A and B are shown apart, each in its own frame.
Chain A
Amino acid sequence: MKEYTLNDRLSRVYRILFWIVSVAIVAVCVPRAWDLRLLYTDGMVRTQVDTALDTLTESRGWLLSDLSIRAVHPDRVRVVHRAHVRGADPSECIDVFFESDRAAPCAD
């Protein structure tokens, strides 16, 4: 029977770890990318998102870099505002509707 050295075991651990990390990244990123698909496939929605974010940042004095886009729907964009400060960052989730530029806290 083949005897495994510590180096063999370590190299096996690294190989397994690489695949676990890769699968975890896919599991996290695919649903998020799917939620943003309209941003990449629909030029009209992309323009509406751009306008909605401009309006939101202008009206609240927020920095664009404090926003992250979570989901894009045909009628609205969902963003999370995280004020980057030292210590815990206060954050809130907001839906911005394209038609009215109305911003409301996320419903779900």
Chain B
Amino acid sequence: MRRLISVVALECYAVALAVLQMSGHVHTDEAKYLLNVPYPHPPLARWFLSLFDGFPWQELGARILFATLAVQAAWIVWDMGKALPSKSRLILCGAWLTSFGVVAGAGTVMMAPLTALQGLVFLWLYLRDEDDARHAGAIALFWLASLFTAYQAALFFPFVIAIFLRMKLPLWKRMAYVAVPLFLLCLYTLTNPFALASMLNQAGKDAAETLAQRASAFGSIALLAGSVVLGIAGTWGIIRSRQPAIGCALLLVCAYVFLGHYAYYMMLFVPFFVAGSYFLLHAKALPPVPFATAFGLCAVAVLALHSPVNPATPAREVMRAIADRGPRGNIAIVGSFGHEWQYESPYPVLKFSEASLPSAQTVVCPATGECPVRGRAGFSLFLTRPEVWIRGNADIGGN
């Protein structure tokens, strides 16, 4: 009964996190996954999301699903800490649930939180320190599924190697279970040249940044992820534990976030920080109550200073106004724009050009500045911020 109440309470928390993210509207990357745009990541998770494409509750449903996975993963943390007294186990679970990385990532429809959960599962398998030969097929399938969810799952390669190395299986089988999924991922990548191009594009995107700028961005992501205290305790615990697989995987994650420092990678750190804190609590090198108090205070302070929700773009309001009162037909958007415009749009979206203009019924200029259809015959102003022009006459919305 107590377990059931815990599951229900955790689920309420998951729904709250999902609803919190709903207020921020759809982020460009979330839209990409919800619409199953075929890059940059492999297809497994986005294909699953696309099964619900067209349902009005697709976004909320996906957010609740992702948040549920992240929050109910507290049971894995609970099992991970089975060598600890109940109080310390609870503190560890509380730290997982309320660290800024999980609060900010759980309700988002991004691949990074899923990868973080896959990392937590690999960590848990690794720390069980058992011969999992009986589960070799299941673990290999999970490794394959992780890689086909997002490329960054490859960062957990050290865990996978360590888990399979200790299995009492013929060497060729162990090697096959580790290497075949990686080979399949490479093969898939060859069939999707845009994924390859997008990765190369991302790699060169911040090439002009100085080392100090990168270090500062990386530092703030890593510190915020564990609401400062969990990050410090976790890193100390990992260094102290001298577990090579965990150290290598953490270094890979650090290098990855250092190169492409997006805030949504925050959650990738949290499984490591939880594992590191577990080592400290287990070795009685960290007094549980002061740790919980310091963490709680820091978690509140971080939440007060940083919003866990992405800032919204006007895409939803604009597209709703067009759906309600605008003309039916293609919408051309001027300049560069995110996929959220595509997700929110009731009609196909075109990139504005003189060639695409004849087939557009509406022209949106999301950026302030020059709008190429301003003052053109046959177009009238529909909204002013951002500027939206439609063919024929319009009631000016003036949002």
Contacts and interface: CB of A to CB of B under 8 A. Distances in A.
Nearest to A86: B54
A93 to B, nearest CB: 15
A21 B191 contact: no
Contacts of B38: 65, 68
Interface in A32-61: 32-33, 36, 39-40, 57-61
B191 A29 contact: yes
Contact of A83 (B36, B180, B191, B348): B348
Nearest to A10: B138
Contacts of A16: 137
Interface residues of B, number: 47
Contact of A22 (B58, B144, B346, B359): B144
A86 B351 contact: no
A65 B54 contact: no
Contact of A14 (B141, B181, B187, B357): B141
Contacts of B351: 57, 61-63
Contacts, number: 116
A21 B193 CA distance: 22
Contact of B187 (A30, A57, A60, A62): A30
B187 A61 contact: no
B355 A84 contact: no
Contacts of B353: 58-59, 61
B352 interface: yes
A1 interface: no
A17 interface: yes
B53 A14 contact: no
A61 B359 CA distance: 9
A88 interface: yes
Contacts of A65: 32, 37-39, 194, 339
Do most interface residues of chain A lie in helix, strand or loop, or is the interface mixed?
helix
Interface in A61-87: 61-69, 83-87
Contact of B190 (A8, A36, A63, A88): A36
Contacts of A67: 194
Given A32-B191, A58-B355, A21 B348 contact: no
B342 A84 contact: yes
A15 interface: yes
Interface in B276-314: none
A14 B184 contact: no
Nearest to B184: A25
B36 A84 contact: yes
A18 B137 contact: yes
Contact of B144 (A10, A21, A39, A86): A21
Given A15-B137, A61-B352, A85-B345, A40 B35 contact: no
Contacts of A58: 353, 355
Chain B CB within 10 A, most for which of A30, A58, A61, A67: A61
A61 B350 CA distance: 5
A88 B50 CA distance: 10
Contact of B193 (A26, A36, A59): A36
B211 to A, nearest CB: 32
A15 B181 CA distance: 13
Nearest to A63: B351
B140 A29 contact: no
Contact of A18 (B144, B193, B359): B144
Nearest to A13: B137
A11 to B, nearest CB: 5
A100 interface: no
Nearest to B143: A18
B96 interface: no
Nearest to B31: A84
21 contacts: A7-B134, A11-B134, A11-B138, A14-B138, A14-B141, A15-B136, A17-B137, A18-B137, A21-B144, A25-B187, A25-B188, A29-B190, A58-B353, A60-B350, A61-B352, A61-B355, A69-B193, A83-B348, A85-B35, A85-B342, A86-B346
Enumerate the 9 nearest inter-chain pairs by beta-carbon distance, A residue then B residue, closest first: A61-B356, A14-B137, A61-B350, A15-B137, A87-B54, A32-B191, A33-B190, A84-B35, A14-B138
Interface of B: 32, 35-39, 53-54, 58, 134-138, 140-141, 144, 177, 180-181, 184, 187-188, 190-194, 330, 332, 339, 342-343, 345-353, 355-357, 359-360
